[in-house]
Structure 1
């Protein structure tokens, strides 16, 4: 089955999990799409089996808190930022809930964290106005970039370049092999009134960059020239939350949560709203991601919802 408008519109909630007592702040699918990991303001890490649609495991991080959780390339390890004690990034074995390594360096809250799609490097960005490049095998940071404002950052799908968004108005592209020389390209975008950039993602085909904000707007720009392609609007974000927006695996659709508990879907090509998906989310939907391998969507408020297309309509 191909992801086209009427299939997207047919998506409905197949399962709701109520494992958490507080807001889920980040989610990440494993590369093979078989499991989903989440972190929550209640200091817990929950792992779900996407094939069976079951809760697999809950781990607690009561001492350090947990945010921005990401699988590494090994399916039984993850990295996450901390919400308590300090702003160290932690590398966790999910098998026995033990920390493998700590990555100290940031002096304020870490607001962006992403793994390279190809190797053990990862990027972090903090309110201390710095981006740090790391390698899972070494606790020392591989490189630091000092910026003039709050950063958002991510790798391209090939893991060869990374993009950094600074001050909610400019995007800089760096070659991973020579980032110390500075950006090889920079784009300046018109500044949004009343909102800040809170997330940056490349489309899976590498052609677009999606910039999410803590306001009522999501930007889609060309990944090569920085030309604005679409301004996605119509979802509600009246609480100033960093609502996640993400692509479908074919780069055709953009999904975002909203503070009214619904999922909004746009065509990346036209910017037209394709669907508004209703759920029994009890609060703002901060996380929304499409499974990289299976026809499945996950969204989270305090509860986690798994969405599937309604096949009956396809028959």
Structure 2
């Protein structure tokens, strides 16, 4: 696995300005509690390009990014049906796992760092539980009759949630192959647990709603229904009932982020259900499919070089402190919003900072333990604060 120095890693320029050394590692990075001091200084620090792609073949598209609980391992699933695991503390590739028979997407660590779950793209729609140390399957979680669109791991137990185009949400325990609970909903394409693990949310784009459930009483009606159409029609008419790409709680559970593939993201009060801010992307969004979307049926197979032919685990997320939201933009740059800033009267909040990069951040995820985040389209890019900024 090749690692490529970024622009900022070049030797000091002729004017004497210092270069950013890629030898910096996460151990030297400031703790996330000091994020406000450095958030504007993040720069692409290291590029990890697959060196097993030869013979002029295009680099595969990264479909998802996830971290283990300690924040030391980063995992991607890719369009060439592989899982790549990186040691981000050392900034190096660790191992490659193949899933050619079943395909792979939405790869997620469980709380045992050597065990992962992921969705299938071939054969059937089972969720697969894999031991990474020897690339052997522990069990399959079968039941969905259509493509899985999201996986959410409980923050403190071996439970997880799956969403599917079969219009069901299923609750699982990794210790048994049988689902523990099931919800029948219309287009339930995204799910997320709150930080306490006592509440989970399900986003249903076609009905324009986010449903909140008590984990202990999920078989009862949701205790809150957030009406995205009613709350957000004044700021965005394009993504009220389609194109939702991300569902996430802030670290205190008080705010919900609904990411879209359009010109902005919705920031909602988790208790009142009202729109707190519309995080506007002035140049528009990234080009990936949203969960549950299908390619236009024009009879032609998608070109492997077309980014619009592939899914993504989301191009936006909260930083671990819950104050900042980061997002990819149209074909380049990473946008950062300070959610403590007062939005305009119409609830629109423009980016507080634009972090420059020439690559599209089609997938983005912030490390849970360190001041570090990663972006990807075809190549994986690691971002750290620039100590010279």
Name the CA distance, whole Å, in 1 between partners of 2:221 and 2:48: 45
1:55 to 1:244, Cα distance in 2 relative to 1, 3 A: same
How many residues get paired? 310
Q: Is the 8 A contact 1:217 1:233 kept in 2?
A: yes
Q: Map 1:170-181; keep pairs closer than 5 Å.
A: 170-181=209-220
Structure 2 residue corresponding to 1:131, chosen from 137, 157, 169? 169
TM-score by length of 2: 0.76
How far is 1:30 from its partner? 1.0
Name the CA distance, whole Å, in 1 between partners of 2:166 and 2:74: 30
TM-score by length of 1: 0.94
1:285 and 2:329 aligned: no
Q: Secondary structure at the match of 2:352?
A: strand
1:228 and 2:266 aligned: no
Partner of 2:379: 303
Structure 2 residue corresponding to 1:268, chosen from 325, 330, 339? 339
Q: Secondary structure at the match of 2:321?
A: coil
Q: Is the 8 A contact 2:286 2:315 kept in 1?
A: no
Name the CA distance, whole Å, in 2 between partners of 1:257 and 1:135: 33
Q: Which moved more, 1:74-83 or 1:167-176?
A: 167-176
Name the CA distance, whole Å, in 2 between partners of 1:258 and 1:59: 30
Q: Which whole-Å deviations, capped at 9, do the CAs of 1:113-144 have from their partners, x for residues lacking one?
A: 11000101100101111111011011111111
Partner of 1:18: 49
Name the CA distance, whole Å, in 1 between partners of 2:364 and 2:288: 17
Partner of 1:241: 289
Q: Is the 8 A contact 1:28 1:36 kept in 2?
A: yes
Q: Which moved more, 1:239-248 or 1:178-187?
A: 239-248
Q: Which moved more, 1:13-22 or 1:64-73?
A: 13-22
Structure 2 residue corresponding to 1:213, chosen from 260, 273, 282? 260
Name the CA distance, whole Å, in 1 between partners of 2:48 and 2:284: 24
Partner of 1:88: 126
Name the CA distance, whole Å, in 1 between partners of 2:317 and 2:81: 24
Q: Which whole-Å deviations, capped at 9, do the CAs of 1:65-119 have from their partners, x for residues lacking one?
A: 1111110000111100011111111011111111111011111111111100010
Q: Is the 8 A contact 1:236 1:260 kept in 2?
A: no
How far is 1:238 from its partner? 6.0
Name the CA distance, whole Å, in 2 between partners of 1:98 and 1:55: 20
Q: Is the 8 A contact 1:89 1:102 kept in 2?
A: yes
Q: Map 1:39-118; keep pairs closer than 5 Å.
A: 39-118=77-156
How far is 1:245 from its partner? 1.1
Name the CA distance, whole Å, in 1 between partners of 2:102 and 2:330: 27
How far is 1:240 from its partner? 5.4
Q: Which moved more, 1:19-28 or 1:40-49?
A: 19-28
Q: Is the 8 A contact 2:86 2:92 kept in 1?
A: yes
Q: Secondary structure at the match of 1:9?
A: helix
Name the CA distance, whole Å, in 1 between partners of 2:237 and 2:210: 17
Partner of 2:38: 7
1:259 to 1:108, Cα distance in 2 relative to 1, 3 A: farther
Q: Which moved more, 1:71-80 or 1:142-151?
A: 142-151
Name the CA distance, whole Å, in 2 between partners of 1:23 and 1:86: 22
Name the CA distance, whole Å, in 2 between partners of 1:107 and 1:306: 37
Q: Secondary structure at the match of 1:138?
A: coil
Name the CA distance, whole Å, in 2 between partners of 1:293 and 1:229: 27
Gaps in structure 2 of 5+ consecutive residues: 1-29, 54-58, 291-313, 342-348
Q: Secondary structure at the match of 2:197?
A: coil
Whose strand proportion is higher, 1 or 2?
A: 1
The structure having more radius of gyration, on CA atoms, is 2
